[in-house]
Every structure is written in structure tokens, then in C-alpha cells.
Structure 1
Amino acid sequence: MSQAFTVATSDTPVKFAYWVPNVSGGLVISKIEQRTRWDIDYNRKLAQIAEQNGFEYALSQIRFTAGYGAEYQHESVAFSHALLAATERLRVIAAVLPGPWHPAVLAKQIATIDQLTEGRIAVNIVSGWFKSEFHAIGEPWLEHDERYRRSEEFIRAIRGIWTQDNFTFLGDFYRFHDYSLKPKPLQSPHPEIFQGGSSRAARDMAARVSDWYFTNGNTVEGIKAQVDDIRDKAAQHGRTVKIGVNAFVIARDTEAEAREVLDEIIAKADPEAVKAFGHEVQQAGKASPEGEGNWAHSTFEDLVQYNDGFKTGLIGTPEQIAERIVALKSVGVDLVLTGFLHFQEEVEYFGKRVIPLVRQLEAGTLDRAVA
């Protein structure tokens, strides 16, 4: 039975980003073939394809240790700079971890890259969920809410360094005394600051200090609840926060083809690796005061794509996916962060077949229905 489709009310086009595969193993914990590589040559070409096909952002990943297929990892900030050097318009978001990074070091790195790339760098502040990774590199592992408290200080510090001279900040984790960074970033007021997380602490932090909030994949209804919560909280602080949602995309000419790919990914999942990942992330979430985190309600099948990307439902024909994206936009999503099985060819297919339909739906020039 068909359901009439409601066109989003926002005049701003939804933006598209993709996960940078600077980490080996692809984006699913499965032994299915993935024609995706983690080397720089592959990624330079991918960035150029994405830029030419309607993507505004790319998000590089931060990992320090192997696990869940990620045997090899390129460092995110340096890798992001390499992708910016290979493109002209694409904006690259470098993921960083407070703890391994000090805010003064990151602020200077990003200010320099911003100057060198005409203002196209952003940061994603990752509070951390992988306890074993912190232990492996000798970094203290803080309790759940303390990690977010440190991240909030980190963001307040980098924003202050980027926008003020003689910056002074006396926090519990970071302290600055009359510090002036020169040159400052080109972007005004500063490079965009992203963060993720679904816990109460994560959402409250986003409302207070972040420009963008990334959420794991979810249903339209589930995402609406998060969007409403964050925007209500942000308004109490006189702020607005933009929302990005994770989605694993399987776009094929027919819905049956797309579903067959999803079934094969799950059928060929690595059960031990998926269960180990699930244990790690769900333990991290249970440490929050409310006893929940990003993956609290994730099934085995959800965890095969480790940011719940299947839940967002961008699986089917280009028409079905475009309609779903505009449904997400209608509840407040500003950006869709995409992952793919075979990045280069599928990013191009998405750009040529899906994004134009989204733009037509946004403009009200395409009359379709959701099956």
C-alpha cells in the first residue's frame, strides 16, 4: 500500500558526506568482497569522485589499534590534509580523540591546514568507546561522563584558541594562560566542530558546544526524537546544532538486488568479531548513568555495520532511497553520512542516480510515493 510523501520544509538542501576508508576492512564486519582500499591512491581518487558527484564532506576515521577488520590505520589529520590537497571544493572532517591529542596541538594543526586549503578542514571530536585502544597506547580510561566532560573542555579550548588572543582557560583537564595562536584559521568564526554519541551526556554536550551532532543510524521516528531533544536543549543555551545521521547505502536498480546484497553481507558476517565489537561498545554504553549508549538496542545484524547504518534504511532503488532521505530531512536531518560496500563505484552511482532525485524532491518537482 502506498503512503503519500511529505516534502521537507527546510529550504536548505540536505548535505552528503562519506566515510573515508583510511582504515582497512571496509565498513562492514563481514567476509563479503569489498572493492574498497585504504591506501592513499584509492582515497585520492575517491575524494575526487565524491566532489564531482555532489558530496560536500568526507569524514576520516581515527583508530590507533587493530580490531574488527581494521588491521591497518592511517592517521586522520595527516590523511585529511592529503585529501584536501587532491580536491578543490570538498570539505574534510578529521576525527580526533581528546587524550592522545592536546587541544593546543590540534588547534595549531587545523589552523595550518585551514590556511593551506582555503578553509576546507573541520574536526570531529570523538570522546572514545574503545577501552582496549586507550590501554594499548597508555592513555588513561575515564568513566563515561568524564570522557564527555573532557571533550567539552577540549572543544571550549580549541574554539577559544581559534577565536581569541590572550586566551585563558582554567578547566579540570586543560589550562591555558594568555595564549595567542597566530595565524588563526581562515574560516570564520572557526572550523566546524562535529561530535557524536547518543547518551544523555553526549547530547547535552552537543547542545552546549558543538556545531554538528552525528547520530548512529536509526528509524525516522528514532532520529526525530533525538533531533527534537538536542534542538530543545540547544535553544535553552541560545544555540542551534545541525544534525548528521549515519547510513550504510545499498543502492541498486531493483529493490530485490539491494536486499540480496544486504542478506549476503549479514550471511557472511564474522560472528566472533561482531560479538566482540558488540560487547565492547555496549559495555561502554552501560557505563553511562542512564545505562545506555549508541548501541544499546542494536541487534547482531545491526552491529555488522558498526554504526547501525542498516537501521537508517537507505537500501533499495534510487527512488526509494531519495524518498527516505527527504523523510529524514523532514524531521530535522541536515546531513547524511554514507558508507558503501564498494566506495568508488557506489559513490559515483549515488551521486548520479540518488542525489538528483533528492534535489527534485526538495524542490517539489518530483511526484512520487513511498511503497
Structure 2
Amino acid sequence: MSVKFIGYIGFNNHSEIHGAVRGRELDVDYVEAAARAQEEGGFDRVLIPFGSSSPESQIVAAHAAAKTKTLGFLVAHRPGFTQPTLAARQLATLDALSGSRVAVHIITGGADDEMAKDGDISVKEDRYRRTDEYLTILRQEWTAEKPFDHQGRFYTIRQAIAAIKPTNLPVFFGGSSDIAIEVSGKHADVYALWGERLDEVREVVSRVRAAAARHGRRPGFSLSLRPVIADTEEAAWKRADEIVEQVRALREAAGLKTEGHAPANAGSQRLLQTAARGYRVDKRLWTGVAALGGASGNSTGLVGTPEQVADAMLDYYDLGVDHFLIRGFEPLEDSIAYGRDLLPLVRDLVARRDEQREVA
């Protein structure tokens, strides 16, 4: 395998350790600086997130693509709000304008209250069934050489045909519930999971591979992490402790929970179970922020020197992870440090591991 790195471009230079954003919800200067920094730092792609109240991901990706030359974009996209035929053409158009630098990250949506903000009051299982049908149509629009019809539970299509098609537009997919694994096995080119314990990652990789094998497919795997690196291990853990206290103080000031969470989605439930095992598990998997925030999203990390964190990432690579989505708590500053100090080490370790396997 080869290893690929996915960075992150939010909409401003803020994270959980910063106060509320006022007036710069979409900071164009930051978007451009983050895109250039991660391109120069050797990232393969950057994730552009999706939320019910955030700026629109495809438009932000289009702007960032116009400011870069080689950086790829992983555009988060929620099925159900755009007809799949139109979404297929939108993504294919963005891919063509960027020079084939686009992938799509399908976010089905696990939280009912989040979905309701955009007018979707469906239940979780129906959303995944809709996503299954949506992706079937999406791929058909990308590949059909003559007009096609589709009659399903959620969509009725008559004589659809796209004049524009992508050369290769990978589909990333996440979700830990049984139905999410079922749908990912059918459609995912890369299955995305959060930073969990090694034995949990091994289990998920096995489940997804089994689901994909039923469709004659073998996807890649992406692991999301929040690395905290420093010149010494002691300094790295000190910084991790500081981050936890910053997050705690801000959540308390905002009247938000710091314990007793009951998330609806299976992925967050799994991360909270990991956090319940301790502040640090396995070699150096850090759960402090996940425990405070209900494990909402990418919230676990690896802590140590760049060499120690790279070594821990290699353990996940050995389990089949071939993409790492990494982002920091100081978004721009940390992305620069990762490109300079961490990515080259991981690539070197992976190259040596692959060489050992070839010899064996």
C-alpha cells in the first residue's frame, strides 16, 4: 500500500480551544492560507466539512482549488437535499475545473436534531437506505453511456444522462452502525473511521472488508486523528492537558455538558467507550477532548514527539489504514508543523515497512 494524508480546511482559524466566532464565519484569507500551507506541506487532500449551519462545502472547495495547483479536495456532502443526478453533475464539474482533484465524503447524518435544521425529519435507517439509492444513481450518472431510468423508494428518474463525467472521483463513506457498514461495503472506495483503539480498528476493518467482499470490492481505509506533537514527550502531553482544560473551560462557560453524554450515532458511542477506558489508551491514543465533548466528530489524537506519533500511526497502517486525516487545535499553525515534522517521518516508515514486506 501507499499512504495518503488528508488535511482540513474549516471556514476560519478556530477550533474547540477558541471562543465563539463572530464576524468571520467564512474567513477567505484563512481558507486560502490553509490551502497553500497544506499543499506546500505535502498533504494529498484536504477535507472541506459540511454542517447544517456552515458555509457550503463545494463552493469553498472551488475557491480553494482556484488558489492551488496540486492539492486535492475531499468535499463533504450530505445526500437527500440535492437530487442525485444534479449532485453528480455538480461534483463532476468541480472535478473538471480543478483538474481531477476532487473526492466526495458522504455524510449521511446520524443525529436527528442536526438533520431537522435542514428540514429532514427522516429516521436514521431511512437515511442510510436513501443514501444507498442516492449513490447508486450518482455512480450511474457518472458512468452511463446512454439515458437510464431508475424507479426506487426515494427517487424516480426518467432518461437521465450526464454530458460531464469525472475521470476518477473517489467516494469516501463513514458510519459505524450495522446499516452504515452494509451501505459502505456496497459503495465506499475509502471507508472513514475516527481514531479508535487498535483492536477496535481491526474489528471495523474486518467488518467493512466482509461487507465489501459481497459486492466484489476492496476499499481503502481512512483514520481521523488530532495529533499533538512537541520536541519532547513531556511537552506534548503538557500541551494535550492544556487543550483539555481550554475545552473544558469554554464548554462550562457556554453551559455545555462535559460529562454524561448520550450521543445518537454509533461512532460517537464507540469513541466514548474508548474514553471510558482511560485518558490514554494503547501506545498514545489520547481521549481527553472526546470525553468532554461527547466524542462529536474527530476528537481523539496521538500525543508525543513526531517520531513517537509516526510510530503509532504505523501500527494503524499495519491494520490496513492507508489514509490519515489529521488536523490540529491551532488549525493553520498545526497543519504547517505536520507537513514539516510528521508527514515525512510516516512516509519513510511506510516505505520501509513496504520494502520489508516485499522482501518477505
Give the TM-score band, short-chain normalised: 0.7 to 0.9
* Preserved contact between residue 175 and residue 266 of structure 2 (Cα < 8 Å): no
**1:314-371 deviations in whole A, cap 9, x for unaligned?**
2110000110111110000011111201122221211111112112212329xxxxxx
- Identify the structure with bigger relative contact order (alpha carbons < 8 Å, sequence gap 6+): 1
Aligned partner (choices 170, 175, 183) of residue 156 of structure 2: 175
Tell me the distance in 2 between the aligned counterparts of 1:182 and 1:259.
53
Tell me the distance in 1 between the aligned counterparts of 2:229 and 2:5.
15
Q: SS in structure 2 opposite 1:337?
A: strand
Q: Which residue of 1 aligns with 2:113?
A: 132
Q: Which residue of 2 aligns with 1:306?
A: 296
Q: Which residue of 1 aligns with 2:3?
A: 14
Aligned partner (choices 220, 230, 240) of residue 242 of structure 1: 220
* Preserved contact between residue 32 and residue 265 of structure 1 (Cα < 8 Å): no
* Preserved contact between residue 24 and residue 37 of structure 1 (Cα < 8 Å): no
Aligned partner (choices 334, 341, 354) of residue 346 of structure 1: 334
Cα–Cα, structure 1 residues 42 and 25, in superposed 2: closer, same or farther, change >3 Å? closer
Aligned partner (choices 229, 232, 238) of residue 254 of structure 1: 232
Aligned partner (choices 50, 57, 62) of residue 38 of structure 2: 50
Q: Which residue of 2 aligns with 1:193?
A: 171
The structural deviation recorded for 1:171 is 1.4
Q: How does 1:310-329 map to 2 (within 5 A)?
A: 310=300, 313-329=301-317
One-letter code aligned to 1:297: Q
Q: Which residue of 2 aligns with 1:75?
A: 56
Structure 2: runs of 5+ lacking an equivalent: 276-287, 354-360
* Preserved contact between residue 57 and residue 91 of structure 1 (Cα < 8 Å): yes
- Identity among equivalent positions (%) equals 27
Tell me the distance in 2 between the aligned counterparts of 1:25 and 1:274.
20
More displaced stretch, 347-356 vs 329-338: 347-356
Q: Which residue of 2 aligns with 1:119?
A: 100
Q: SS in structure 2 opposite 1:150?
A: helix
Cα–Cα, structure 1 residues 50 and 274, in superposed 2: closer, same or farther, change >3 Å? farther
Tell me the distance in 1 between the aligned counterparts of 2:226 and 2:133.
32
More displaced stretch, 225-234 vs 315-324: 225-234
Q: How many residues were matched structurally?
A: 331
**1:21-49 deviations in whole A, cap 9, x for unaligned?**
126752x3x45899x98512111111111
Q: Which residue of 2 aligns with 1:155?
A: 135
Tell me the distance in 2 between the aligned counterparts of 1:115 and 1:95.
18
Aligned partner (choices 309, 330, 355) of residue 343 of structure 2: 355
Q: Does 1:273 align with 2:256?
A: yes
Tell me the distance in 2 between the aligned counterparts of 1:351 and 1:298.
28
Q: Which residue of 2 aligns with 1:146?
A: 126
**1:70-95 deviations in whole A, cap 9, x for unaligned?**
xxx22111011111111111111111
The structural deviation recorded for 1:123 is 1.0
Cα–Cα, structure 1 residues 233 and 136, in superposed 2: closer, same or farther, change >3 Å? closer
Q: Does 1:330 align with 2:318?
A: yes
More displaced stretch, 265-274 vs 343-352: 265-274
* Preserved contact between residue 13 and residue 330 of structure 2 (Cα < 8 Å): no
The structural deviation recorded for 1:148 is 0.9
Tell me the distance in 2 between the aligned counterparts of 1:102 and 1:156.
12
* Preserved contact between residue 196 and residue 274 of structure 2 (Cα < 8 Å): no
TM-score, scaled relative to structure 1: 0.82
**1:151-182 deviations in whole A, cap 9, x for unaligned?**
11111111010110312222111121111111
The structural deviation recorded for 1:277 is 10
* Preserved contact between residue 307 and residue 342 of structure 2 (Cα < 8 Å): yes
Tell me the distance in 2 between the aligned counterparts of 1:131 and 1:298.
24
* Preserved contact between residue 197 and residue 293 of structure 1 (Cα < 8 Å): no
Tell me the distance in 1 between the aligned counterparts of 2:99 and 2:9.
21
One-letter code aligned to 1:325: M
One-letter code aligned to 2:135: I
Aligned partner (choices 47, 55, 61) of residue 49 of structure 2: 61
* Preserved contact between residue 16 and residue 336 of structure 1 (Cα < 8 Å): yes
The structural deviation recorded for 1:201 is 1.0
The structural deviation recorded for 1:137 is 2.9
Q: SS in structure 1 opposite 2:264?
A: helix
Q: Which residue of 1 aligns with 2:182?
A: 204
One-letter code aligned to 1:158: L
* Preserved contact between residue 11 and residue 30 of structure 2 (Cα < 8 Å): no
The structural deviation recorded for 1:135 is 2.2
One-letter code aligned to 2:3: V
Structure 1: runs of 5+ lacking an equivalent: 1-11, 66-72, 287-291, 366-371
Tell me the distance in 2 between the aligned counterparts of 1:220 and 1:284.
20
* Preserved contact between residue 21 and residue 37 of structure 1 (Cα < 8 Å): no
